[in-house]
Structure 1
Amino acid sequence: MDSARWQGFPFRPGDIVISTPAKCGTTWTQTICALLIFQTPELPGRLDDITIWPDMKTRSQADVFAFYEAQQHRRIIKTHTPFDGLPIHDEVTYIAVGRDPRDVALSWDAHFQNTDYDVVLALRDAAVGNDDLTGDLTDDAPPQLESEYDRFWAWIDHPDVQIGLPSMLHHLSGFWAERERPNVLLLHYDELKADLAGQMKALASHLGIEVPQDRWPELVQAATFDSMRKRAAEFAPMLAMWRDPQQFFNSGVSGQWRRLLDDEDLRRYAERVEKMAAPDLADWLHRPR
């Protein structure tokens, strides 16, 4: 990823930038926004034909700009760049999604195991070349340890700017500080799970999108986790890079960390969070279910 690729991006009024830490519901939010814009479960193409990721170096910057320039509908733009790395425009809406970091750690673990990095490297080589890479592709990822428990703690302690708890909390801290802006919206993964219809209607209102009442049931159904998983070939991003596209939508379950962590682990985890996140942000992320 390279956030410098945002430089010169030709924004339009009404653009929607979905900026989340990885594994916090990025594809889910892209799908919801697409459903609201087109107001039908049958989108005009795969999700990748509607919304892509400028930062990801598997397409050239010129191709990304041309992709969005050609669109005539309201545009949805994906990124994992935090607020402090984005161009900010008053006429653009910025959406961030938070999630319990303990769930994110386990979701990232499944994501990492499912990625075919030979395909990623081939796409990157075709787009921008790989001559700038040094060492192994996984050098900047949490080490692939035998134990799920050890991999969890590797993610919690990982200092990288794109992967791990420090990165996630930096990202959400930036949006948390700007949450009173009228063009910034914070969603929570567990609220989407608990009341998808209500959250979609609130998002439509925030975006100024009117949806006929009779269309809501089919739009909400299309945005459920089970529906997206069944239609993984349509909704999984960069389809070729997954060993199993349906596994991109791994489980969508919150609270799996309970089977892994004991009371001492939770104290250790809380100490890490306390050093990197404001108490009100931490409370919001870890809201009881």
Structure 2
Amino acid sequence: MELPPRPKLFDFHGVSMTNYFTDNWENVQNFKARPDDILIATYPKAGTTWVSYILDMLCFGHSERQNLVPVYERVPFLEMHIPSFPSGVAELNKMSTSPRLIKTHLPVQFIPKSFWEQNCKIVYVARNAKDNAVSYFHFDRMNMAQPEPGDWNSFLQRFMEGKMVFGSWYDHVTGWWEKKQSHSKLLYLFFEDMVEDTGRELDRLCSFLGVSPSAEEKENVRERAQFDNMKKNNMTNYSTDTAMDFKISPFMRKGKVGDWKNHFTVHQNEQFDEHLQKSMTETDLKFRTTI
């Protein structure tokens, strides 16, 4: 299937977006959440697929569909609306499984109001800005449904300015962090904590979801969700997605904390740190860039 040209960024209610995530806006905003829906919210490239796969295993066990249906079909992408692909809303509306696992990259102010009205459980995953920027850069290089990334230096400048699809990383992570104070069913996870001790974060997820897998089942989930195993698994590594060019870069690249050190120059790092400090003065949210 031939893809249209790469999309262009534009300002959408104060957030940089592309038409692939705004063309179905009315249907997204009017989406009818159910009380048992579980929303997985992240800034792009912060561990979305990882958490989606873990939640799918915790909610449904290891079922046959995990060997046959890609994770992006088991966990539809709410706001996605790309020509020739089924829209996220349409996929979710015809889902019969319960709970429905729903993926979104929307900043908190864009979340359909039915999720708050139904008091849905939400799992948010945040990743430190440096590793997030590096991962996003390589993702934009290989994903033809994303804007042209340009070179690393210009990409990093745009990242700091918030001129990315789904807007500013700074606004995204802090907006959801603030929402945690008023929405009791919001679990805020950190990518770095998950890498450091997947078992511990799995326990937190089980407690949040109210599920009690056996020690053996939990170990099975932890094993299957290891980065190298997911990278080899065609149902989790996005190798079946025609928008992605694996000759440029794999969808799942390294999954490490601290890979930013292989990309940032000393000058870029100093400039980024200064900008990060300024942008995060109003929040008590803290990140680790090494573990």
Letter in 2 for 1:10: K
1:111: which partner in 2? 139
2:5: which partner in 1? none
* Higher-helix-fraction structure: 1
Using the alignment, how far apart are the partners of 1:255 and 1:51 within structure 2?
28
Residue 90 of structure 1, CA deviation: 4.8
CA contact (8 A) 2:36 2:98 kept: no
Letter in 2 for 1:185: L
Letter in 2 for 1:93: K
Paired residue for 1:80, among 98, 105, 110? 105
Using the alignment, how far apart are the partners of 1:20 and 1:237 within structure 2?
21
CA contact (8 A) 2:41 2:123 kept: yes
CA contact (8 A) 1:105 1:152 kept: yes
CA contact (8 A) 2:130 2:289 kept: no
- Asked if residue 157 in structure 1 is aligned to residue 161 in structure 2, the reply is yes
Q: Which runs of no fewer than 5 residues in structure 1 stay unpaired?
A: 121-136
- Give the number of equivalent residue pairs: 260
Say which SS state the counterpart of residue 228 (structure 2) adopts. Answer: helix
Using the alignment, how far apart are the partners of 1:191 and 1:209 within structure 2?
21
Letter in 1 for 2:205: L
CA contact (8 A) 2:234 2:240 kept: no
CA contact (8 A) 1:103 1:257 kept: yes
Residue 202 of structure 1, CA deviation: 1.0
- Tell me: CA distance 1:104–1:76, structure 2 relative to 1, closer, same or farther (3 Å): same
Give TM-score, length-normalised by structure 1: 0.80
Q: Aligned runs of 1:209-248 on 2, under 5 Å? A: 209-236=211-238, 239-244=241-246, 247-248=250-251
Give TM-score, length-normalised by structure 2: 0.79
Paired residue for 1:31, among 36, 40, 53? 53
Residue 24 of structure 1, CA deviation: 0.4
2:29: which partner in 1? 7
Residue 98 of structure 1, CA deviation: 0.9
- Asked if residue 100 in structure 1 is aligned to residue 102 in structure 2, the reply is no
CA contact (8 A) 1:233 1:239 kept: no
- Asked if residue 271 in structure 1 is aligned to residue 261 in structure 2, the reply is no
Q: Aligned runs of 1:176-255 on 2, under 5 Å? A: 176-180=177-181, 181-236=183-238, 239-244=241-246, 247-255=250-258
Say which SS state the counterpart of residue 253 (structure 2) adopts. Answer: coil
Residue 170 of structure 1, CA deviation: 0.9
- Tell me: CA distance 1:190–1:234, structure 2 relative to 1, closer, same or farther (3 Å): closer
Say which SS state the counterpart of residue 124 (structure 2) adopts. Answer: strand
After superposition, the CA RMSD in angstroms is 2.6
1:19: which partner in 2? 41
CA contact (8 A) 1:95 1:186 kept: yes
- Tell me: CA distance 1:243–1:84, structure 2 relative to 1, closer, same or farther (3 Å): same
- Tell me: CA distance 1:39–1:253, structure 2 relative to 1, closer, same or farther (3 Å): same
Say which SS state the counterpart of residue 78 (structure 1) adopts. Answer: strand
Using the alignment, how far apart are the partners of 1:157 and 1:72 within structure 2?
40
- Tell me: CA distance 1:244–1:273, structure 2 relative to 1, closer, same or farther (3 Å): same
Using the alignment, how far apart are the partners of 1:103 and 1:220 within structure 2?
23
Percent identity, please: 21
Using the alignment, how far apart are the partners of 1:114 and 1:269 within structure 2?
24
Say which SS state the counterpart of residue 216 (structure 1) adopts. Answer: helix
Say which SS state the counterpart of residue 44 (structure 2) adopts. Answer: coil
- Tell me: CA distance 1:19–1:234, structure 2 relative to 1, closer, same or farther (3 Å): closer
Q: Which runs of no fewer than 5 residues in structure 2 stay unpaired?
A: 1-20
Letter in 2 for 1:195: D
Residue 233 of structure 1, CA deviation: 4.0
Say which SS state the counterpart of residue 177 (structure 1) adopts. Answer: helix
The answer to which of 153-162 and 208-217 deviates more is 153-162
Residue 249 of structure 1, CA deviation: 0.4
- Asked if residue 89 in structure 1 is aligned to residue 92 in structure 2, the reply is no
CA contact (8 A) 1:176 1:281 kept: no
